[in-house]
């Protein structure tokens, strides 16, 4: 009997803390040894010239979520996780959304029916709370945290999801009690409504005005309000998809004061700007870039880099939320009448790692170890998956991406493995690309060819976040 099922030989192992030339031995889906030289494996993969990094963890992904009367998301759990593994990501944490009035238990059971047996990557669920009724806060949530759904998301905008200040405080208080980590979508609902109506009255309905209707001030105000509420309750929160300087500075201000406020940013805020939409109408696919918060300007991109370099942001997630660029998605007849009907969200689960490497590591803005922290390790720590996921050391799941730091690629739709019909990053040239993705010891994607099968990915019952309330 060989000692190992699989060995990865000749590569350079990169974790959030170290870079070492080492072989990796895998047994029963886990990393069994990291050593100078590993022999005696049933199969060996030559990784010379490649980096051996923890598989990506994308803790902000939307799959098969109903959009309350809007168009269908183009990725379900099968296609979305297929896209994830092709991009080097082995774990995703999508959302289970509570429609108002519904029991969260029933909702989560529906999402399991959609996901179980269909995923190419491992997965957990965050709970989106739209209706914090006494029974949800008092009974359902504490029980569900115990079952491994240890993080919630709340919205400060969107008519179907927005919580008022009182409700935010109630959810924060509940999270403090049951030690869940709360993700906050920080954009102010009333200000966006006001701006939207004013723009519509002026006939400014093209997709570009989506961004104008929710400027950085609106995001900064909501971030500050969320931080204040969190301080009042004394609960840690994670402000997600931070788009620019204003909200980033609020988070940094809170962190400087010793508050447990965490931050996430996404590829769209370093790779796109509002100008990408300028002048485009719906026939010219202007809806393709509509997401919230919207991409800003070059100065904001620089502020996001500062936040990444200074540790203001712990996680770099995709906020993958794909809709077809067609009448059944971005260009519905209703969406043509105003930006306000264009479904919000863009695909990105597959391109997330290549974009951060290409624009970050390859351009000298961040190091390789920071890259691993931002795309994998910190997600595992933040969301209760550590030390099962997020590093390469004995005992961890053998979730690995073999990365070629010298490979030049141009991001193009024809390279993608999801169900969406476009990528907002079409034409972006990057250096650095995943060449093989390994999920718990099984190669599931090699050179863009899917080797895995639906059902390879399993549900992850997550632990309490060490960053949640104590």
- Positions touching ligand URP (CB under 6 A) are 62, 185, 241, 291-292, 319, 321, 344-345
- Give the tokens for residue 235: 């609960």
255/263 Cα distance (integer angstroms)? 10
**∠ Cα 37 41 43 (to 5°):** 115
Q: Is 22 or 223 the residue whose CB approaches ligand URP more closely?
A: 223
Strand partners, 152: 127, 182
Decide: is 325 part of the binding site for Zn ion (CB under 5 A).
no
Decide: is 241 part of the binding site for Zn ion (CB under 5 A).
yes
Task: Report the partner that residue 179 touches, choosing among Zn ion, ligand URP, none (CB closer than 5 to 8 A by kind).
Answer: none
122/129 Cα distance (integer angstroms)? 23
Please report how close the Cβ of residue 345 comes to ligand URP at its closest, in angstroms: 3
Q: Is 267 or 457 the residue whose CB approaches ligand URP more closely?
A: 267
Q: Is 9 or 214 the residue whose CB approaches ligand URP more closely?
A: 214
Task: Tell me which H or E stretch contains 57.
Answer: strand 56-61
Indicate the residue whose CB is closest to Zn ion.
Answer: 185
- Cβ(384)–Cβ(465) below 8 Å: yes
Please report how close the Cβ of residue 55 comes to ligand URP at its closest, in angstroms: 23
How many residues in the shown chain lie near Zn ion by CB under 5 A? 3
Please report how close the Cβ of residue 201 comes to ligand URP at its closest, in angstroms: 24
SS3 assignment, position 112: helix
Residue of 138, 74, 136 lying closest to 107 (CA atoms): 136
- Give the tokens for residue 417: 């493995």
Q: Is 13 or 84 the residue whose CB approaches ligand URP more closely?
A: 84
Decide: is 118 part of the binding site for Zn ion (CB under 5 A).
no
Task: Report the partner that residue 377 touches, choosing among ligand URP, Zn ion, none (CB closer than 5 to 8 A by kind).
Answer: none
310/82 Cα distance (integer angstroms)? 33
Q: Which span sits near Zn ion by CB under 5 A: 103-111, 173-181, 314-322, 434-442?
A: 314-322
* Owner of token pair 């208080």: 173
- Cβ(156)–Cβ(229) below 8 Å: no
Residue of 120, 125, 55 lying closest to 456 (CA atoms): 120
Q: What is the torsion angle, in degrees rounded to the nearest 10, for the CA atoms of residue 62, residue 440, residue 85 and residue 13?
A: 120
Please report how close the Cβ of residue 292 comes to ligand URP at its closest, in angstroms: 4
For Zn ion, the binding residue among 75, 319, 325, 456 (CB under 5 A) is: 319
415/423 Cα distance (integer angstroms)? 10
411/428 Cα distance (integer angstroms)? 5
Q: How far apart, in Å, are the Cα atoms of 8 and each of 220, 331, 357, 396, 405?
A: 46, 46, 22, 15, 17
Q: Is 191 or 291 the residue whose CB approaches ligand URP more closely?
A: 291
Q: Is 22 or 162 the residue whose CB approaches ligand URP more closely?
A: 162
Q: How far apart, in Å, are the Cα atoms of 217 and each of 202, 221, 243, 436?
A: 21, 6, 11, 42
Decide: is 249 part of the binding site for Zn ion (CB under 5 A).
no
Please report how close the Cβ of residue 295 comes to ligand URP at its closest, in angstroms: 11
Please report how close the Cβ of residue 440 comes to Zn ion at its closest, in angstroms: 26
Task: Report the partner that residue 265 touches, choosing among ligand URP, Zn ion, none (CB closer than 5 to 8 A by kind).
Answer: none
Q: Is 241 or 245 the residue whose CB approaches Zn ion more closely?
A: 241
Q: Which span sits near Zn ion by CB under 5 A: 73-81, 172-180, 311-319, 334-342?
A: 311-319
Task: Report the partner that residue 27 touches, choosing among ligand URP, Zn ion, none (CB closer than 5 to 8 A by kind).
Answer: none
- Cβ(74)–Cβ(426) below 8 Å: no
Q: Is 56 or 347 the residue whose CB approaches ligand URP more closely?
A: 347
Q: Is 250 or 344 the residue whose CB approaches ligand URP more closely?
A: 344
Please report how close the Cβ of residue 252 comes to Zn ion at its closest, in angstroms: 20
How do strand 23-27 and strand 4-9 relate by DSSP bridges?
antiparallel
- Cβ(28)–Cβ(396) below 8 Å: no
Please report how close the Cβ of residue 435 comes to ligand URP at its closest, in angstroms: 30
- Cβ(271)–Cβ(300) below 8 Å: no
For Zn ion, the binding residues in 177-206 under the rule CB under 5 A are 185
- Cβ(88)–Cβ(424) below 8 Å: no
Please report how close the Cβ of residue 343 comes to ligand URP at its closest, in angstroms: 8
Please report how close the Cβ of residue 94 comes to ligand URP at its closest, in angstroms: 11
Q: Is 315 or 391 the residue whose CB approaches ligand URP more closely?
A: 315
SS3 assignment, position 129: coil
Task: Report the partner that residue 400 touches, choosing among Zn ion, ligand URP, none (CB closer than 5 to 8 A by kind).
Answer: none
Residue of 309, 329, 324 lying closest to 79 (CA atoms): 324
**Can you give the binding site for Zn ion, defined by CB under 5 A?**
185, 241, 319
């Amino acid at each position: 009997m060989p000692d190992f099922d699989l060995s990865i030989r000749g590569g350079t192992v990169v974790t959030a803390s170290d870079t070492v030339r080492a072989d990796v031995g895998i047994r029963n889906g886990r990393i069994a040894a990291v050593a100078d030289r590993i022999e005696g494996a049933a199969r060996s993969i030559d990784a010379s010239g490649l980096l051996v990094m923890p598989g990506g963890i994308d803790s902000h992904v939307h799959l098969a979520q109903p959009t309350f009367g809007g168009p269908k998301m183009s990725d379900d759990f099968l296609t979305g996780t297929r896209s994830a593994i092709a991009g080097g990501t082995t774990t995703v944490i999508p959302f289970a959304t509570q429609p108002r009035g519904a029991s969260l238990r029933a909702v989560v059971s529906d999402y399991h029916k959609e996901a179980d047996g269909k995923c190419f990557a491992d997965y957990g669920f965050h709970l989106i709370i739209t209706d914090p009724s006494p029974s949800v806060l008092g009974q359902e949530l504490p029980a569900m945290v115990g079952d491994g759904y240890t993080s919630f998301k709340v919205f400060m905008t969107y008519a179907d999801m927005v919580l008022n200040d009182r409700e935010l405080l109630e959810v924060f208080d509940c999270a403090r009690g049951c030690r869940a980590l709360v993700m906050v979508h920080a954009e102010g609902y009333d200000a966006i409504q006001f701006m939207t109506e004013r723009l519509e009255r002026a006939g400014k309905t093209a997709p570009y005005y989506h961004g104008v209707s929710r400027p950085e001030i609106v995001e900064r105000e909501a971030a500050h309000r969320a931080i204040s509420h969190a301080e009042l309750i004394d609960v840690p929160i994670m402000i997600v998809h931070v788009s620019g300087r204003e909200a980033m500075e609020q988070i940094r201000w809170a962190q400087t004061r010793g508050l447990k406020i965490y931050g996430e940013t996404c590829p769209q805020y370093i790779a796109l700007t509002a100008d990408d939409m300028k002048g485009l109408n719906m026939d010219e696919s202007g809806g393709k870039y509509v997401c919230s918060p919207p991409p800003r300007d070059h100065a904001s991109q620089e502020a996001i880099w500062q936040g990444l370099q200074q540790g203001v942001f712990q996680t770099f997630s995709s906020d993958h939320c794909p809709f077809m660029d067609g009448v059944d998605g971005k260009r519905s007849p209703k969406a043509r009448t105003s930006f306000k009907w264009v479904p919000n969200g863009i695909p990105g689960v597959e391109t997330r790692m290549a974009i951060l490497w290409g624009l970050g590591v390859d351009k000298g803005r961040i190091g390789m170890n920071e890259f691993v922290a931002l795309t994998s390790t910190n997600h595992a720590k933040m969301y209760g998956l550590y030390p099962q996921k997020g590093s390469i050391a004995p005992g961890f799941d053998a979730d690995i991406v073999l990365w070629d730091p010298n490979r030049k690629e141009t991001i193009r739709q024809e390279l993608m493995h999801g169900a969406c019909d476009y990528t907002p990053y079409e034409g972006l040239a990057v250096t650095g690309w995943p060449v093989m993705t390994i999920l718990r010891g099984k190669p599931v994607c090699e050179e863009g060819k899917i080797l895995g099968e639906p059902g390879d990915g399993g549900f992850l019952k997550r632990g309490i976040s060490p960053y949640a309330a104590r």
